[in-house]
A and B are shown apart, each in its own frame.
Chain A
Amino acid sequence: MAEVVRGVIAATGADVLVVSDASSDATVQMASRAGATVIELPCQLGAWGATQTGMRYAQRRGYGRVLTLDADGQHHPQELPALLDEQHRSGANVVIGTFAERLSVAKRLAWRYFHLLTGIGVQDFTSGLRVYDRRAVRTLASRQASLLDYQDLGVLMLLRKNGLTLHELPTVMSPRRQGGSRVFSSWRMVARYMLHTTVLCFAQIGTRRRVAVHAARGGARS
């Protein structure tokens, strides 16, 4: 954890915020000592609830861009400058760091399915490595985003509904060092997730608006 915080500071020079989802271990102290600002939630709000806390913090402080990444060490801090540059260059409201090689068969199938349902052409829709600009942050900090549960399709659909543009950049990543995916952990969880997200998709029908998702070619660095 401390390693991730130090890595991000070294790579980007940005202010780092760690949101602790009511965790009881030494995460808070470690992150704080490594130079991060720490916000501790009083009760567990889940992955998206914690992320949105960061969005609201950024909006309150007037930050122009927000970069989110998982704190479990699977995202390389060296990748971050490329992601930020890509956002600047493309002018997209959101840039998603995609991990094409990681995608399992199940995930590819899920992607096909959701692509069919929503028309969103993002490949790795569960990637937590994303850059949001000010407009995207304002949308995601709002009340309408408060009942989402994961930083995935629901977030993307909300962004699209508000006319924001999405952009993908292939990146490399390492396997998770601690913990597994919260979503793709067991078949029961997957089934629940698929059902939940399908319902979410149906709730969005009628608000569909085609937004070009340009996949950046040759942008991957290792």
Chain B
Amino acid sequence: MTAQITSGIIAVLLAGAILYLVRRDHLHGSYALWWLAVAGAILLLGVFPPVIDWLGRLTGINYAPILPITIGIGMILLRMLKMDIDRSRRERQIRRLAQKLAILEQEIIEARHAHADAGEPPAAPAPAGLPRIAGRR
């Protein structure tokens, strides 16, 4: 077995797995595009390793195989940075949503109390449209 066949098999398996997962539609828009591009790059470099040597000559790097590794790690780092930025944004959203939820909940409870105090006699039927639920306190 030659090295080209080995790398070709690995590339096809990886790209196939990515394609399968993307096609199952678990990824949001731009993420799917990113992963499709990754699958394409893996296929190209894995099936045609000479491309790597050609890239090495083009960039003047003696030991060409280090090129895809360096670029790959760089991309992974960038991707992780992007993930942490997204997570921070989400954390901010979650915090603000939780705060808003708590404030609105307090207002609902207060409105119910005010409604109860505004005074129909205890025997009066519940007003239509707003079911009377005893406040939690």
Contact = CB atoms under 8 A, between A and B. Distances in A.
Please say whether chains A and B are actual partners in one complex: yes
Interface of A: 19, 28-29, 32, 37-43, 45, 49, 52-53, 56-57, 60, 143, 146-147
B103 A45 contact: no
B95 A29 contact: no
B88 interface: yes
B106 interface: yes
Given A146-B92, A147-B92, A56 B103 contact: yes
B123 interface: no
Contacts of A143: 92, 96
Given A42-B102, A45-B95, 15 more contacts: A39-B102, A39-B105, A39-B106, A40-B102, A40-B106, A45-B99, A49-B99, A53-B102, A60-B103, A143-B96, A146-B92, A146-B95, A147-B88, A147-B91, A147-B95
B57 interface: no
Contacts of A38: 106
Nearest to B89: A147
B128 interface: no
Contacts of A147: 88, 91-92, 95
Interface in B16-54: none
12 contacts: A29-B137, A37-B110, A40-B102, A42-B101, A42-B102, A49-B95, A53-B103, A56-B103, A57-B106, A146-B92, A147-B91, A147-B95
Contacts of A53: 99, 102-103
Contacts of B102: 19, 39-42, 53
B98 interface: yes
A88 B32 CA distance: 57
B100 interface: yes
Contact of A43 (B96, B98, B106, B110): B98
Contacts of A39: 102-103, 105-106
Given A45-B98, A56-B99, A40 B105 contact: yes
Nearest to A19: B102
Nearest to A57: B103
Closest 7 CB pairs of A and B: A53-B99, A146-B92, A39-B106, A39-B102, A41-B102, A146-B95, A32-B137
Contact of A41 (B91, B98, B137): B98
Contacts of B98: 41-43, 45, 49
A90 B93 CA distance: 36
- Scoring B92, B98, B102 by chain A CB atoms within 10 A of each residue's CB, the highest score goes to B102
Contacts of B88: 147
A203 to B, nearest CB: 12
Nearest to A17: B106
Nearest to B100: A56
Contacts of B92: 143, 146-147
A177 to B, nearest CB: 25
A3 to B, nearest CB: 19
